[in-house]
């Protein structure tokens, strides 16, 4: 049985953009399977008393983050255009991923939604934008969006978001291997090491 | 002229502990010189409305951080003992580094102060603890501490802390190369790439 890595992401999360474009190839190179797990940061931030992205609440953090993101994307060869609206509503796209997580078209869908938000400055909360992307990955937009917004699918997505909290996830992207949480795009290699059984914890 | 990397650190900062133990060897392997730059996070956090470590203010972040730190230290072969007091006062040790930054004994002093705080659970705000470490690196504690706490040295340290803010530093550890700030121990390789002239910024 191949080791698996859960990739927990929020479509509004800036650092998840380069991570989403990198995770599949990096995992494949190590023989690790990726599970795509969408969730929402809103409730997690709200639990810490934040009603907006911390990058907006703390401007110095925001200034640093956009510069850092330009470097990260530059190193990965990804285009970046600072969105005219940040953060953008991500629940529609996130529900699509939750409902169809195991489908072969999901990785490409995820990457295209991120590129729409952060390289094309498109409003990913719009069904028209999500519909265009669904078409481009060979799906029928109306059917997919209907299924993703059925009550059962909404409930399943809420349960998945609750699971993020239960796992101790505090930000996006996070990688989870056997319940072990690694937060931040930079921790991908550490998470893959964990998946390979390299698991060392320091003690005094 | 060798490229240089400024290592900006706060002795109370948990993630700076493994970073302080790693930075010199990693930089040397890339032919980059390290400049040791101590500062205080207190004023930077206060500017964001925090009167304590965010790892204490936001317990979920704290839980994650201590686990993550155990993994990072484990991977580096460093011992870790969660300090009985966190964060600890760091101004005395930080002033010593600022006053004697270019001396050959400083890197070993820095590493030992971090190990005292995070592997030996010693109170690094105590002159006795700092004195023991100064002795172990071949210095005369009373002389060094007197010089580090002279008014001129205090003023120079305050100016250095102000410079951290002016650079846009928002946390520790940070690596700075030609004014470019990289925050987080994980960004060491990216900072060294920058020092080597690999500097790509994404654009749309």
A200 and B75 within 8 Å at the Cβ level: the answer is: yes
| pLDDT per position as a tens digit, A16-66 | 999 999 999 999 999 999 999 999 999 888 888 888 998 998 888 999 999
Residue A1 scores a pLDDT above 70: no
Predicted TM-score (pTM) of the model is 0.94
Cβ B204–A70 below 8 Å, yes or no?
no
Measure in Å the smallest separation between the Cα of B91 and chain A Cα atoms. Answer: 24
Interface test with A, best of B71, B84, B188 (most A CBs within 10 A): B71
Token reading at A51: 């009603």
Instruction: Mutate one of A55, A65, A71, A120 to test the B interface: name it (highest B CB count within 10 A).
Output: A71
pLDDT at B192: 97
Considering only residues 1 to 20 of chain B, which have any Cβ-Cβ distance to chain A shorter than 8 Å? none
Peptide bond into A159 cis (omega under 30): no
Tokens representing A163? 């699971």
Contact yes or no for A181 and B64 at CB 8 A? yes
Q: Which ranges in chain A belong to alpha helices (H)?
A: 16-29, 42-47, 54-57, 59-76, 91-99, 106-118, 127-136, 141-148, 151-167, 188-195
Closest CA to B6 of B152, B144, B177, B183: B177
Q: Does A75 touch chain B (CB under 8 A)?
A: yes
Over residues A110-123, mean pLDDT = 98
The pLDDT, as a whole number, for residue B138 is: 98
- Please check whether residue A119 touches B, CB under 8 A: yes
Q: What is the dihedral of CA A86, A91, A93, A98, to 10 degrees?
A: 140
Cβ contact, residue pair B68, A204, below 8 Å: no
Report CB contact under 8 Å: A201, B74: yes
Smallest CA–CA separation between B179 and chain A, in Å? Answer: 12
Q: Given an 8 Å threshold on Cβ–Cβ distance, is A168 in contact with B60?
A: yes
> How far from the centroid of its chain's Cα atoms is residue A102's Cα?
15
Residues 6+ apart with CB under 8 A from A195: A3, A4, A5, A30, A32, A177, A178
Q: Which of A53, A43, A41, A39 is nearest to A6 (CA)?
A: A39
**B50-60 residue pLDDT tens:** 889 989 988 88
DSSP lists the bridge partners of residue A38 as A9
The domain ranges of chain A are: 4-195
pLDDT band at B204 (very low <50, low <70, confident <90, very high): low
Cα–Cα distances (Å) from B64 to A188, B70, B110, in that order, read 16, 10, 25
Report yes or no: B67 and A202 within 8 Å, Cβ to Cβ: no
CATH number of A4-195: 3.40.30.10
Helix, strand, coil percentages, rounded to 5, for chain B: 55, 10, 35
pLDDT tier at B119, thresholds 50, 70, 90: very high
* B166 and A CB contact within 8 Å: no
Q: Convert the pLDDT of each residue in B46-86 to its tens digit.
A: 888 888 998 998 888 999 999 999 999 999 999 999 999 99
3-state secondary structure of B183: strand
**B31 has a chain A CB within 8 A of its CB:** no
DSSP assignment string, B79-121:
-----SSSSPP-HHHHHHHHHTTTSTTHHHHHHHHHHHHHTS-
Strand pairing report for A33-38 and B180-183: unpaired
Residue B48: its pLDDT value, please?
A: 82
Residue A164 near chain B (CB below 8 Å): no
Confidence of residue B113 (pLDDT cuts 50, 70, 90): very high
Q: Which candidate, B172, B130, B124, places its Cα nearest to that of B16?
A: B172
CB contact under 8 A, A202 and B70: yes
Neighbours of B112 (CB within 10 A): 23
């Amino acid at each position: 049985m191949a080791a698996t890595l859960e990739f927990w992401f929020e479509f509004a999360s800036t650092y998840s953009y380069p991570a989403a474009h990198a995770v599949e190839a990096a995992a494949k190179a190590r023989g690790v399977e990726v599970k795509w797990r969408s969730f929402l940061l809103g409730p997690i931030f709200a639990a810490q008393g934040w009603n907006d992205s911390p990058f907006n609440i703390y401007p110095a953090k925001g200034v640093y983050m956009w510069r850092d993101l330009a470097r990260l994307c530059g190193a990965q060869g990804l285009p970046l255009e600072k969105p005219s609206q940040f953060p953008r509503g991500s629940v529609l796209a996130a529900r699509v991923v939750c409902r169809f997580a195991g489908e072969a078209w999901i990785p490409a869908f995820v990457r295209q939604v991120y590129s729409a938000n952060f390289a094309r400055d498109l409003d990913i909360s719009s069904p028209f934008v999500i519909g265009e992307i669904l078409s481009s990955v060979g799906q029928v937009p109306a059917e997919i969006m209907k299924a993703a917004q059925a009550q059962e699918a909404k409930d399943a997505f809420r349960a998945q978001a609750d699971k993020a909290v239960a796992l101790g996830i505090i930000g996006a992207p996070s990688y989870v291997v056997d319940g072990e949480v690694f937060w931040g795009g930079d921790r991908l290699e550490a998470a893959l090491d964990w998946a390979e059984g390299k698991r060392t914890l320091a003690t005094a």
